[in-house]
């Protein structure tokens, strides 16, 4: 069962410059940053608020580390902006299977490692009214 908006992913050309914009304009600070080699991105998670289920909502700023990454290709085609929306779930495997049974293409056969040790998968944007959608199960100690 999807429980919350976990994050909104924003693709950018210059992570440091984009982080500074969100800090100076809205007062958001970096909660976590990392490089995800598998996804080919450098990212910063800006925490917006906590939630009653122990999770939180974030803005995820994504800068590609290589041109052939999914985010790199997306930036080349679309420019900077909203890349995806992510919904939090306690069971990414179960929810992905349920959604797949409803005819929505799930992009990964098995969930992968995402930000802060989470487990993630994506749903095809053509099956979600043009929106790349991510399902996220946060690491147990978050």
Active-site residues, by number, are 7, 43, 60, 84, 134
Angular region, 112: left φ>0, alpha ψ -120 to 50, beta rest: beta
Q: Label residue 27 left, alpha or beta by phi (over 0 means left) and psi (-120 to 50 means alpha).
A: left
Distance CA 30, CA 12 (A): 15
Give the N- to C-terminal CA distance of the chain in Å, as an integer: 18
Nearest to 121 by CA among 136, 131, 132, 140: 136
């Amino acid at each position: 069962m999807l429980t919350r908006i976990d994050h909104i992913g924003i693709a950018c050309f210059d992570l440091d410059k984009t982080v500074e914009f969100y800090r100076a304009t809205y007062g958001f600070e970096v909660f976590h940053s990392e490089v995800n080699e598998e996804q080919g991105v450098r990212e910063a998670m800006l925490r917006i608020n906590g939630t009653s289920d122990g999770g939180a909502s974030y803005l995820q700023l994504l800068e590609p580390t290589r041109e052939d990454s999914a985010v790199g290709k997306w930036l080349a085609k679309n420019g900077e902006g909203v890349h995806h929306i992510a919904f939090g779930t306690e069971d990414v495997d179960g929810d992905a299977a349920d959604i797949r049974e409803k005819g929505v293409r799930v992009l990964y056969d098995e969930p992968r490692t995402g930000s802060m040790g989470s487990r993630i998968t994506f749903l095809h944007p053509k099956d979600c009214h043009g929106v790349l959608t991510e399902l996220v199960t946060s690491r147990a100690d978050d």
